[in-house]
């Protein structure tokens, strides 16, 4: 076999150079991609770190808002009626004149009537204070006792069953107003005897508990009640 001629040798050298150039280009490209990937990875990690940092800050802000919302939100409710006592009652009144300790029957005036009314009870939510202990997962609520808010007797509900006007001794507006004050006090006492204040306290606690449950997870927190 003869020696390759000069043209063949030149061709082989050219092919070898081309192959070497291709290998170098590929190697540089892969290296560049690796550097780009590394740079992207570093950037992603940095962004993740920033995001994580922001996440912590957001959580802390939410916690602060939650603590403030508890007390401010509850107090914004104001004075709330949490229990009503509806009633129908009867009233009778009579008066008669006397003369030298003798009762003058012909001067007797009287009436018998029924009437409707309502007694309301509640608490001042503006007086409620709240403490939040995240370590022991407890919310302490200090609230005042319920009180009677109003006694309302509806004058339009009066139904007169009997009426008697004595001679020279009619019942006056002042007689009726005095009787109305007594009826209101009677209704107040009866409502208290029947537990209106206790029920108002319980209903107020339900309102507060529902509000707190909208801010905190009550599966993780206990509510401790204190009465001022």
**pLDDT tens string 116-146:** 999 999 999 888 989 988 889 999 999 999 9
- How many helices (H) and strands (E) in the chain? 3, 7
Q: Which of 185, 197, 196 lies closest to 146, judged by CA?
A: 197
**pLDDT of amino acid 214:** 85
Please tell me which residue, 156 or 47, carries the higher pLDDT value. 156
pLDDT tens for residues 62-95? 445 456 677 777 777 777 888 999 988 877 666 5
Q: Please report, rounded to a whole number, the percentage of residues in the chain having pLDDT higher than 90.
A: 25
Dihedral sign for Cα 171, 175, 179, 182, please: negative
Closest listed residue to residue 206, CA positions, set 227, 228, 189, 223: 223
Tens digit of each residue's pLDDT (9 = 90 or more) over 32-43: 444 444 443 444
Give the whole-angstrom CA distance, residue 76 versus residue 48. 40
* Res. 179 pLDDT band, cuts 50 70 90: confident
Rounded alpha-carbon distances, angstroms, from residue 179 to 93, 193, 199: 8, 21, 29
Q: Where are the domains of the chain?
A: 1-76, 77-227
Entry pTM: 0.59
């Amino acid at each position: 076999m003869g020696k390759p001629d000069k043209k063949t040798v030149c061709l082989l050298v050219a092919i070898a150079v081309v192959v070497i150039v291709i290998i170098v280009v590929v190697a540089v490209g892969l290296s560049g991609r690796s550097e780009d990937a590394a740079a992207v990875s570093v950037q992603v990690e940095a962004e993740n770190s920033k995001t994580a940092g922001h996440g912590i800050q957001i959580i802390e802000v939410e916690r602060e808002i939650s603590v403030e919302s508890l007390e401010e939100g509850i107090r914004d409710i104001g004075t709330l009626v949490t229990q009503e006592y509806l009633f129908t009652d009867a009233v009778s009144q009579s008066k008669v004149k006397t003369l030298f300790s003798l009762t003058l029957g012909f001067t007797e005036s009287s009436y018998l009537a029924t009437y409707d009314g309502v007694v309301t009870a509640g608490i001042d939510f503006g007086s409620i204070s709240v403490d939040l202990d995240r370590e022991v997962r407890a919310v302490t609520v200090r609230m005042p006792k319920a009180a009677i808010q109003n006694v309302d007797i509806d004058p339009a509900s009066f139904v007169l069953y009997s009426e008697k006007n004595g001679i020279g001794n009619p019942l006056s507006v002042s007689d009726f107003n005095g009787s109305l004050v007594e009826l209101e006090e009677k209704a107040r006492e009866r409502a208290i005897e029947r537990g209106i204040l206790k029920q108002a306290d319980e209903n107020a606690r339900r309102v507060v508990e529902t509000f707190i449950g909208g801010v905190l997870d009550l599966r993780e927190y206990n509510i401790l009640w204190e009465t001022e």
